[in-house]
Amino acid sequence: MENQTKHLTEEQITWAIIDENELPQMAKDHLIRCQMCSRKVESLGSSLGKIRKLATESVRVPPPRPVFERKKSKQRSIVFSWGHLGLSAALAGVLVVVVFGGFQINQYRLHKRIAAVTREMEMDMSLMAEVDDLIENPLPRIYEEIS
């Protein structure tokens, strides 16, 4: 009769070790009745236990690192104060460059704009001269010669 019974698969045997509650009821019943499958479960379980034991024995726990407390000096170091002084000087230099550089950029833009306005005024003056000529004599010169 045992030869006709279908034995548990490897996955079912693994689940029997991990969590027997996950097995279907039919597999649980088979595990109770079949000595061969129950021996496989016991064998695999003991092998996994040995592997777990070897793994925990072979892993070395690193020693804790020593923690050294720094002694706080009451007197500030010269490097520290020079560092602050250097940083302050650098920031002041950047600020000066930004302010005066921005001023020069604005001066350049202003000169450029003044030049454009001057050209526009010259163009307007020539156009106004033409308009003044048309006010005095609305007819083109060709018509003046005809009349």
Give the helix/strand (H/E) hosting 42: helix 35-58
CA distance 79 to 70: 18
Using the Cα atoms of residue 124, residue 127, residue 129 and residue 132 in order, give the sign of their dihedral.
negative
Residue 2: its pLDDT value, please? 43
Which one, of 33, 26, 32, lies nearest residue 1 by Cα? 33
Residue 3: its pLDDT value, please? 43
Dihedral-angle region of residue 72 (phi above 0 means left; psi in -120 to 50 means alpha; beta otherwise):
beta
pLDDT along the chain (147 residues), means of 10: 66 84 86 90 88 81 78 58 74 80 74 90 89 77 67
Q: What angle do CA 24, 27, 31 make, to 5 degrees?
A: 140
Tokens 């163009």 correspond to: 123
Residue 137: its pLDDT value, please? 74
